[in-house]
């Protein structure tokens, strides 16, 4: 495990460059749209009582996104929303093809939008992306194109092909001037609005752990929480795989950066080597610490969530989905490091179960 305290983290007023990424009002706008979709409902906020007791903290809560809109992950709030807004910007009756690159979940979200809105979709997936994720995308009617290399290679390939073919690119990582990417992150803010409603009249989290990836989830969550709570915001800790810690590398370099290698990890949806420049204005100011963990803690955390424990029924959370809990558990094993981010017996920890596990037959 590696931990990096962010020297740029601040509780200052929400800055204009952050407000371009997301705000409470923009998240509310996204929720007004998404709440009209068939299948929308607030996802559960589950107390992990035994985990909290074991870790010696006041509370651990899991925002369980495994059933979101029937699409198996929080990503269905982002890509599908951005696609719907992009199509609304076009002239009525325009025939378009949506395109994106994905490790699995974002592509399913875009395919879900295409299916719902009656247009075509093409989804680029690198050669090592999970086949069951690809099949779920095909089941929605999208065409899957397998590409050589890693996720970041597929991002570059689909961008070039979309420009040549005239497809509408629905990216979840890009430069800060891309409105579509901003809309993806604004969709993720719907989770924050739900959480605050679910906790109305109860103590708010003191610490929030989010999965890393390119940074869109963390920016979408930290941005809306900060816009609403201001200096009383929780502390934010981002969890990444040791083999794909591009956000930690970015924090070290004070700018959006990348890491090389094959990026292989059992946390497949976090195997991204290049940080999102669009997310960085929020991440650099609001993430208090970046941490990188190995696969074993994430595998163990997923196994624990998916087993019945006390009064809690077994859940359906994938290894990527358990990564933020794994990060919290690993950090609390090291009181010296936990103290650096203020974790103690009074802490109330929020983590995200970002995705469901693989089909039972696998």
Report the pLDDT value the prediction gives residue 311, as an integer from 0 to 100.
85
The string of DSSP letters for 115-131 reads: HHHT-EEEEEEETTS-H
- In the chain, what is the straight-line distance between the N-terminal and C-terminal CA atoms, in Å? 29
118 and 240 Cβ atoms separated by less than 8 Å: no
pLDDT tens-place string over residues 73-110: 999 999 999 999 999 888 777 789 999 999 999 999 99
Burial grade of 42 (CB within 10 A; 0-12, 13-18, 19 or more):
middle
> What average pLDDT does this structure show over 340-356?
98
Q: How many CB atoms lie within 10 A of CB 83?
A: 28
pLDDT tens-place string over residues 269-313: 999 999 999 999 999 999 999 999 999 999 999 999 999 988 899
Report the pLDDT value the prediction gives residue 43, as an integer from 0 to 100.
98
Report the pLDDT value the prediction gives residue 92, as an integer from 0 to 100.
75
Nearest alpha-carbon partner for 251 in 282, 211, 216, 220? 282
Q: How many CB atoms lie within 10 A of CB 238?
A: 31
Average pLDDT of the chain is 96
Q: What is the percent of the chain with per-residue pLDDT over 90, rounded to a whole number?
A: 93
pLDDT tens-place string over residues 39-73: 999 999 999 999 999 999 999 999 999 999 999 99
Question: Residue 262, SS3?
Answer: coil
pLDDT tens-place string over residues 118-176: 999 999 999 999 999 999 999 999 999 999 999 999 999 999 999 999 999 999 987 77
Report the pLDDT value the prediction gives residue 90, as an integer from 0 to 100.
85
Report the pLDDT value the prediction gives residue 361, as an integer from 0 to 100.
57
User: What DSSP designation does 348 have?
Assistant: E
Report the pLDDT value the prediction gives residue 344, as an integer from 0 to 100.
97
> What average pLDDT does this structure show over 22-27?
98
- The domains located in the chain, with CATH, are 2-74+179-353 (3.40.50.1100), 79-169 (3.40.50.1100)
Question: Residue 257, SS3?
Answer: coil
φ/ψ of residue 154, rounded to 5: -65, -30
């Amino acid at each position: 495990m590696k931990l990096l305290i962010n020297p740029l983290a601040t509780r200052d007023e929400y800055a204009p460059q952050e407000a371009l990424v997301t705000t409470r009002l923009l998240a509310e706008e996204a929720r007004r749209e998404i709440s009209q979709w068939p299948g929308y409902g607030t996802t559960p906020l589950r107390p992990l009582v035994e985990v909290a007791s074991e870790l010696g903290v006041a509370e651990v809560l899991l925002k369980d996104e495994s059933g979101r809109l029937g699409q198996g992950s929080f990503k269905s709030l982002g890509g599908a929303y951005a696609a719907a807004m992009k199509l609304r910007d076009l002239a009525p009756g325009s025939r378009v093809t949506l395109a994106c690159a994905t490790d699995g979940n974002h592509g399913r979200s875009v395919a879900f939008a295409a299916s719902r809105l009656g247009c075509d979709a093409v989804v680029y997936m690198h050669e090592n992306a999970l086949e069951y994720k690809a099949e779920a995308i095909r089941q929605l009617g999208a065409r899957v194109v397998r590409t050589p290399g890693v996720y970041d290679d597929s991002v570059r390939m689909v961008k070039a092909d979309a420009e040549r073919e005239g497809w509408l690119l629905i990216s979840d990582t890009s430069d800060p001037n891309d409105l579509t990417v901003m809309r993806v992150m604004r969709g993720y803010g719907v989770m924050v609005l739900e959480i605050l409603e679910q906790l109305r009249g109860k103590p708010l989290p003191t610490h929030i752990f989010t999965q890393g990836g390119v940074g869109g989830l963390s920016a979408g969550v930290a941005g809306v929480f900060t816009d609403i709570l201001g200096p009383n915001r929780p502390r934010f800790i981002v969890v990444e795989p040791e083999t794909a810690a591009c956000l930690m590398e970015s924090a070290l370099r004070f700018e959006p950066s990348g890491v090389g290698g094959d990026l292989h990890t059992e946390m497949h949806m976090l195997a991204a080597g290049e940080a999102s420049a669009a997310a960085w204005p929020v991440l650099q100011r609001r993430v208090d610490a970046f941490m990188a963990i190995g696969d074993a803690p994430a595998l163990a955390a997923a196994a624990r969530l998916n087993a019945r424990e006390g009064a809690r029924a077994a859940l359906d959370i994938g290894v990527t989905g358990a990564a933020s809990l794994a990060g919290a558990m690993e950090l609390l094993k090291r009181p010296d490091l936990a103290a650096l981010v203020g974790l103690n017996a009074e802490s109330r920890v929020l983590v995200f179960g970002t995705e469901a596990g693989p089909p039972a037959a696998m």
